[in-house]
Amino acid sequence: MRPVLHSDVTTAVRAVLARPQPMRAAFCARLLQEADWADRFVRRLGKTHPFWGNGTLMGAARAHPLAAEQTFDSPEYCTVFELVVRQLAARKTAKVL
């Protein structure tokens, strides 16, 4: 996956928010995997993946329905934001070990 920026995270949060609550953790993991696969595709073939984009988390997230942008006043938004950041951190930690 390409380096993750704030805009990648907020777009991923919107994609995860568009899913029913019980599916969110699994869908978030799937998004991260899709971004990784797309990055590998781009590096190998030199073109964007037709579904998952350019290897960024935003590119993978934009391939799915997005919820409306929210603010941190929303507890649900905060919870999903935390989910995305925790899964990103877990992936980075796992790759270091």
pLDDT interval class at 94 (50, 70, 90)? confident
pLDDT of residue 3: 94
Compute the distance between CA of residue 8 and CA of residue 60 in angstroms, rounded to an integer: 9
Query: Where in the chain are the domains?
Result: 6-96
pLDDT in tens, 30-87: 999 999 999 999 999 999 999 999 999 999 999 999 999 999 999 999 999 999 999 9
pLDDT of residue 75: 97
pLDDT interval class at 97 (50, 70, 90)? low
pLDDT of residue 31: 97
Spell out the residues 6+ positions from residue 80 whose beta carbon is closer than 8 angstroms to its own: 13, 16, 17, 24
pTM of the model: 0.92
